[in-house]
Amino acid sequence: MMKRVIKRLQVIVILCTLASSFAVAQNQSIHFEETTSWNKIVKRALEEKRLIFVDCYADWCGPCKKLASEVFTQDKVAEFFNSNFINASYNVEKSEDAKRLAQVWQVSALPTLMFIDPETEQPVHKLVGSGDAEWLIAGAKQALDPEKRLDAMLSRYNNGDRDPAFMIRLVKALSTAGMAQELEKITKEFLSGLNIDQLATPVVWSLIVQYENDPLSKTLLTVRDNAERFYALPGQNQKQLVQTKLASAILDKAMQYSMNPNLAVYDKEAYDAFVDYLVTAEEPGKSMAAVWLNTSMLSRQGDWKKMLEVMRAVKDEQILPPQVYGKYFLFYMQSLAKMEDKSAVDGGVKWIEELIAEAVGEDISTYYIRTTLYGAEAGLYEAAERYGKAQKAKKEMEKYVNLIKEATASNQ
């Protein structure tokens, strides 16, 4: 009898042990080093001959918290990182080590995930932002591959490799790493070296769409002059996509000059070239760009009456898409407060009040319109140092913001 009891107890102990082990295996997390001493972390990585994975975060960073609670805690992520890396986690706003490393590694956005070679203490690969488990593991696998990690690809590029398939991978890696300046420079450099036959391919066209926005660049001039070649690329509404790309590039350039008038002064040759380009540009980009430049000229001249007249016409004739018109409207309304004629503000407010009166309805789209208009009115009064009226307009704006929240909640 006693033997049977003992055996039964042994079975229970074994089952409990197995259950406990299984539970642990199913609730893993990336094991981050307890120490924040960088020298100790590097020493251990050198001893174990592993790369260092560094999670750079801050307390206020929402995506950082999401990574920590939803991705780092997944079994497959934990198993991969614990097996392949020495893992470190740094709040870049607290310890001196963290602040120093963030500066050395040029951490400018959070979360930033670094893969560091302990021999050089420099990054070999980098991810910026947050994603799912597959995204993180894929990035980590790149870091472990001497040919696919970012530092190796940049070296390959600097040695002259311009193979289109390789360039696509490099551009994607730079984008994922948040290296905007390098991304723009390398993409433009690569595209400018291609002829029409190389440009007019689906792979390269995808790069043009994402990264080339200068209408006077060699690349977009080639697209403009050989539009039929790009219309013929596979894809739905390809002709419309090509025309939209050219129009948006023209509009973006016009907005840059309009919102930063000094650009035209600093580089008059480039500005004159853009104006000459507009003469032969196609619609709708031509009219949209002209509207921004003409309104900018009237604003700088202080001719607020003519400026408001033009703005009304642009609205009535729907020359600009709604989202672009919103930016146009708010930008030039603010310019009224900077004019010598102080009645300019009253002229702007009068029109805003007319638009508010026209925005009739109790639906969410009307609430958005009224929020924007009261916001514009508040900004105009504030810029003119009429703080009492600015506060009144802000209260109206907040009322419609709350109505939007209520309407959104009731629709969910």
Phi, psi of 236 (to 5 degrees): -75, 140
Q: Kindly report, residue by residue over 142-179, the tens digit of the pLDDT.
A: 999 999 999 999 999 999 998 888 988 899 899 999 99
Residue whose C-alpha is closest to residue 188's, from 210, 169, 173? 210
From CA 412, how far away is CA 405, in angstroms rounded?
A: 11
pLDDT of residue 412: 62
Residue with structure tokens 């609730």? Answer: 27
Which residue type is seen at 398? E
* pTM beyond 0.85, yes or no: no
Where do the structural domains in the chain lie, given as residue ranges? 38-144
Range from 217-221, 260-264, 333-337 carrying the lowest mean pLDDT: 260-264
Residue whose C-alpha is closest to residue 195's, from 159, 158, 167, 223? 223
pLDDT at 27 over 80: no
Pair 174, 183: CB distance under 8 Å: yes
pLDDT of residue 371: 94
Q: Kindly report, residue by residue over 114-153, the tens digit of the pLDDT.
A: 999 999 999 999 999 999 999 999 999 999 999 999 999 9
From CA 179, how far away is CA 336, in angstroms rounded?
A: 38
Q: Which two tokens stand for residue 403?
A: 């109505």
pLDDT of residue 16: 45
Question: What average pLDDT score do residues 94-98 get?
Answer: 86
Question: What average pLDDT score do residues 382-401 get?
Answer: 93
Pair 286, 323: CB distance under 8 Å: no
Pair 288, 250: CB distance under 8 Å: yes
The secondary structure of residue 74, as a DSSP letter, is S
From CA 306, how far away is CA 144, in angstroms rounded?
A: 62
Q: Does domain 38-144 have CATH number 3.10.20.30?
A: no
Which residue type is seen at 334? Q
Read off the pLDDT band of 235 (50, 70, 90).
confident
Pair 168, 210: CB distance under 8 Å: no
Question: What average pLDDT score do residues 295-306 get?
Answer: 95
C-alpha distances in angstroms, 73 versus 28, 31, 69, 293, 412? Answer: 6, 10, 6, 53, 30
From CA 61, how far away is CA 76, in angstroms rounded?
A: 24
From CA 268, how far away is CA 322, in angstroms rounded?
A: 31
